[in-house]
Amino acid sequence: MIGHLPSWKNGAAKSAILDFVAAISAPGEDFVPAAERIAVFGNDGTLWCEQPMQAQVFFAQSRAERLADADPSLKERQPFKAFLEHDLPAIHALGKQSVFEFALAIHSGVTVDDFTRIAKRWLDTATHPATHRHYTQMIYQPQLELMRYLRAQGFKTFIVSAGGADFIRAFAQEVYGIPPEQVIGSTVKTRLENGGSRFSLMKLAELDSFDDREAKVQNIGLHIGRRPVFAFGNSDGDLAMMRYTLAGSGKRMAMLLHHDDAAREAAYDREFRLSPLTEALDRADEFGFRMVSMKNDWEAVYAFDK
């Protein structure tokens, strides 16, 4: 096993991963056939940085600015006002679901194809306010290694995120090696437009699914049709998915990332209004979650740290 997971420190968390994969790969009672090796990951805060707010919220902010250029009356209307003034406390105070619903609905009237182009362009140019790095550079290197390792062991890796599916699909293949059809996320309803030869899907303002908490499990049923054997999350939004994963028969694993690394990334849990970690932290032992400490279990956080 030497050489796997180089950005994970040698210790309990890394050993737990290697032991789990060894156990389900070897002939015996813990064996899991390759077709059943389904691994699910949250995205914001599990695979990349979500501080001071999720990249998609910054993306929505840039869209709000464009819309306000065309219609200045938006500047006085909430929640546009909070977004346009970069008023972080006001945005946080809206709470996770309201912020994401706004961030999804703000792209209504754009086709899925055009949205993908717009999102890619934004990701290529926008930078994080603190690190001045592109958001796609703020991917956790240990998680890239973990997903690559799991895939090499026959796993299929899926993202199951409260973030917008179309937004994550714009970079998941290139950055994570995860194809669009393995990205499950929040969605708005669409309308099929048939403008002669166009035939495209138009994004509407109406929410179809806010893929958080119980909905993550329902969407795993809808999209994957099998119970995962491995889950990785970092907030109460991932709690149901992690418990659902562990509740199947046979050997399973659910890991919970704790952001306790103020020096290299951030230290936060229950106070983060845009995705709090409270119950999953308090009851981690009871539920059988394996805690992962960013500070103690990861050798490096980002590739650019190395």
Would you tell me which residues interact with a second copy (CB under 8 A)? Answer: 35, 112-113, 156, 158, 165-166, 169, 173, 179-183, 187, 189-190, 192, 194, 197-201, 208, 214, 217-218, 221-227, 240, 243-244, 246-247
Among 10, 107, 124, 11, residue whose Cα is nearest residue 57? 107
Provide the H-helix boundaries in the chain. 12-25, 55-70, 80-84, 88-94, 96-105, 112-125, 141-152, 165-169, 172-176, 214-223, 239-246, 279-282, 284-287, 294-297
Which tokens is 158 given?
């899926």
In the complex, the smallest distance separating the C-beta of residue 116 from a second copy, rounded to whole angstroms, is 9
In the complex, the smallest distance separating the C-beta of residue 125 from a second copy, rounded to whole angstroms, is 23
In the complex, the smallest distance separating the C-beta of residue 298 from a second copy, rounded to whole angstroms, is 30
Nearer to a second copy, 14 or 37 (CB): 37
Nearer to a second copy, 166 or 265 (CB): 166
Cβ proximity of 211 and 185 under 8 Å: yes
Nearer to a second copy, 90 or 110 (CB): 110
Cβ proximity of 74 and 66 under 8 Å: no
In the complex, the smallest distance separating the C-beta of residue 303 from a second copy, rounded to whole angstroms, is 23
In the complex, the smallest distance separating the C-beta of residue 218 from a second copy, rounded to whole angstroms, is 5
In the complex, the smallest distance separating the C-beta of residue 183 from a second copy, rounded to whole angstroms, is 7
Which residues are CB-neighbours of 51 under 8 A, at least 6 positions away?
A: 259, 265, 266, 268, 272
Nearer to a second copy, 47 or 220 (CB): 220
Nearer to a second copy, 183 or 257 (CB): 183
Nearer to a second copy, 115 or 149 (CB): 115
Cβ proximity of 150 and 157 under 8 Å: yes
Cβ proximity of 278 and 285 under 8 Å: no
Among 63, 186, 166, residue whose Cα is nearest residue 111? 166
Cβ proximity of 202 and 250 under 8 Å: no
Look up tokens 């180089």; give the residue. Answer: 6
In the complex, the smallest distance separating the C-beta of residue 132 from a second copy, rounded to whole angstroms, is 30
Nearer to a second copy, 91 or 119 (CB): 119
